Chains A and B, each alone.
Chain A
Amino acid sequence: AQSVTQLGSHVSVSEGALVLLRCNYSSSVPPYLFWYVQYPNQGLQLLLKYTSAATLVKGINGFEAEFKKSETSFHLTKPSAHMSDAAEYFCAVSATGTGNQFYFGTGTSLTVIP
């Protein structure tokens, strides 16, 4: 069975500081991993996806994530936080089988302190 775990339901950083949001996956096969962002009262938007072509994946808004098989991790980072980055972030894994369901983590709420 595939699943993802997001460590830290709330993360606070100062504006301009490094953003690090953690995601660990559990999968018996090579996973397909995604990061989504949700702004208040909106749906989920795709930030980036891992497709095995490269371990370092660049996404929108300056975010990137690195796939580390040895650590079963896919952490999301951004070198310098901006106030507009305040949102909820979800890690997800695409499952094999009918419908290719996604399994989402419980989310990390990012607060950016001015």
Chain B
Amino acid sequence: NAGVTQTPKFRVLKTGQSMTLLCAQDMNHEYMYWYRQDPGMGLRLIHYSVGEGTTAKGEVPDGYNVSRLKKQNFLLGLESAAPSQTSVYFCASRIRDRGLNQPQHFGDGTRLSIL
């Protein structure tokens, strides 16, 4: 029962470096989301996907790109990391349902520091 798995768990980057965060879910969920969590600001949506091959921008998409080539995976990329992107990143998934009462399921997060 893995649920939502995020890799890596920790990473330190230098300004200007690039990296990709991987999210994998084994619940066959259609919807997947990437959030960043910063002190006092709650969770803010970066990008989301409603299915394989589709992505959309959330509240704070600048500086990030995403891809959903397989239903179970959702990748978040930082092309040129900046100190402002130091944060904890969470991935979540959700089953597609006609109602709105289905919860999102979260991974344990990736703690990213940009020096």
A and B part of one assembly: yes
Interface size of A as a range: 20 to 34
CB contact under 8 A between A99 and B31, given known A42-B109, A94-B101: yes
Q: Which residues of A contact B50 (CB under 8 A)?
A: 98-99
Which single member of B4, B42, B99 contacts A104 (CB below 8 Å)? B42
- CB pair A43–B42 under 8 Å, yes or no, is no
- CB pair B109–A102 under 8 Å, yes or no, is no
CB-CB nearest in chain A for B38? A106
**From residue A48, how far is it (CB to closest CB) to chain B in Å?**
9
Q: How far apart are the CA atoms of A53 and B103 in the complex, in Å? A: 16
Which single member of B45, B103, B108 contacts A34 (CB below 8 Å)? B103
- CB pair B107–A43 under 8 Å, yes or no, is yes
Quick check: is A101 within 8 A (CB to CB) of the other chain? Answer: yes
Q: Which residues of A contact B40 (CB under 8 A)?
A: 9, 106-107
CB contact under 8 A between A32 and B100, given known A43-B90, A43-B109, A99-B56: yes
- CB pair B109–A107 under 8 Å, yes or no, is no
Q: How far apart are the CA atoms of A98 and B40 in the complex, in Å? A: 27
CB contact under 8 A between A98 and B56, given known A90-B42, A104-B43, A106-B41: yes
- CB pair B100–A94 under 8 Å, yes or no, is yes
CB contact under 8 A between A101 and B103, given known A42-B108, A43-B108, A43-B109: no
Q: Which residues of B contact A34 (CB under 8 A)?
A: 103
Q: How far apart are the CA atoms of A50 and B101 in the complex, in Å? A: 7
Q: How far apart are the CA atoms of A41 and B48 in the complex, in Å? A: 23
Q: Which residues of A contact B94 (CB under 8 A)?
A: 100
Which single member of A41, A45, A100, A107 contacts B31 (CB below 8 Å)? A100
Quick check: is A18 within 8 A (CB to CB) of the other chain? Answer: no
Q: Which residues of A contact B92 (CB under 8 A)?
A: 44, 102
Can you list 20 A-B contacts with CB-CB less than 8 angstroms, sorted by A residue number? A34-B103, A43-B90, A43-B108, A43-B109, A44-B43, A44-B90, A45-B106, A46-B105, A94-B100, A98-B50, A99-B31, A99-B48, A100-B31, A100-B100, A100-B102, A101-B48, A102-B33, A102-B104, A104-B42, A106-B41
Q: Sort A-B residue pairs by CB-CB distance and give the 4 closest, nearest first.
A: A43-B106, A51-B101, A32-B100, A94-B100
